[in-house]
Amino acid sequence: MASGTSISAPDKASTLTGKRVLLGVSAGIAAYKSALLVRLLKQAGCEVRVVMTSGAQAFITPLTLQALSGEPVRTSLLDPEAEAGMGHIELARWADVVLIAPATADLIARLVHGMADDLLTTLCLASDAPKLIAPAMNQAMWRHPATQRNVAQLENDKWQLIGPAAGDQACGDVGPGRMSEPDAIFSAIVDLFMASPATPRPAASAPHIVITAGPTREPLDPVRYLSNHSSGKMGFALAAAAALEGANVTLISGPVELPTPKGVTRIDVESAEQMHAETQRLAPRAALFIGCAAVADYRAAAPAEHKLKKQETGDTLTLTLVKNPDIIASVAALPAEQRPLVVGFAAETQDIERYARDKLQRKGLDMIVANDVSLAGLGFGSDQNAAWLLWRTPQGVESRSEAPQPKTQLAGTIIRQALALLATQTAEKSSNTASGDIL
């Protein structure tokens, strides 16, 4: 520590209580300061998990940081035990903030180029959390044009730079490149959370909701595809509304240009088959599945390897299409012990309620939301929507219509109805289980 500095947490550090900090430590003599930083964060009430590069372990041991953080230190991307449940993705989702201190010139260069050749760089690509970085290197390395270009790109990529400081260096040089002191880094984290309070984290008992959104694209050749007009706005509004209700939300999105709602984990896909694979992976572990995506019904049987030329296809072009997997029906057909409550969507142009009832029954859904996409200003691409809501009860199917309204408002209504249906279903299951135990 520099003369006169203190490692006691400032009073405003109560802002950090319960915050989850993922600390990356790369190679460099400044790695010893990371131990003091972990202590500061823990004193402020943070949960801290540490990831070390192989080079960092030459300067400070994982055991030291494990003792200070109270958590196992991760050092390898290919750890069989940790990766049994895709541990690096779970760790990326766990973090409220990603902090790298110290960050070497090599690590900065690899981050700029999107490398994912070790656990730390992979986590940085996989996490949507705010990212802070504290460089540490020789003054000549810091001043080098390549490093300065890389740092500028990191800032363009929304990394927040902390330091570096100037002064005596371990190599005997004097100048900029020293890692900022732990209390300065700590203050930067406090300021981050005071400026941008995070969305409240779902409780451990919160339901996991999986939502699909947007269109899919089915390739015909390397430059053409089949798709539809879905903007993804309704699905993203549902994800935002579910997060506001305190749910743990995973959004599987087709290709759209929309920001990820706060508190939502997003998985991007292109084709129906990719969306189906992610749904099959996640739905069995969810309490509620909402299929809002406009999934292409068909795909090319054999997409062309090269661009189709007009002079080769003539005035007409015949395509052989095959059916895509029925994503929502496959979720509804899961075994009872794996099946979530299933909500579907129906985009219709006539006889809205009748077709919705038919789809509810035919696909074995618990609830369906149907809207008339033929109405101007509603549905695809619009910020407004109107809908029929239909859901199953022990007495039959109940329904109600929702007048035209902003999609954000309609999304809240849909989520609350789905959660009420989930609560009823859960209570019925608990009652049946208790009755069975008595008998």
210, 250 in Cβ contact below 8 A?
Answer: yes
Q: Binding site annotation covers 267?
A: no
Catalytic residue among 86, 125, 152, 171: 171
Q: Binding site annotation covers 292?
A: yes
Q: Binding site annotation covers 359?
A: yes
Q: Binding site annotation covers 429?
A: no
Q: Binding site annotation covers 293?
A: yes
Q: Binding site annotation covers 10?
A: no
Q: Binding site annotation covers 345?
A: yes
Q: Give Cα 262 distance to the centre of its chain.
A: 9
Q: Binding site annotation covers 325?
A: yes
Q: Binding site annotation covers 133?
A: no
Cα angle for residues 95, 100, 102 (degrees, 5° grid): 155
Tokens of 415: 């989520």
Q: Binding site annotation covers 128?
A: no
Q: Binding site annotation covers 310?
A: no
Tell me, yes or no, if 46 is annotated catalytic: no
Q: Binding site annotation covers 328?
A: yes
32, 61 in Cβ contact below 8 A?
Answer: no
Partners of residue 50 on adjacent β-strands: 23
Partners of residue 97 on adjacent β-strands: 21
Binding residue numbers: 291-293, 297, 307, 325-328, 345, 359, 363
Binding residue numbers for CTP: 291-293, 297, 307, 325-328, 345, 359, 363
What amino acid positions are annotated as catalytic residues? 171
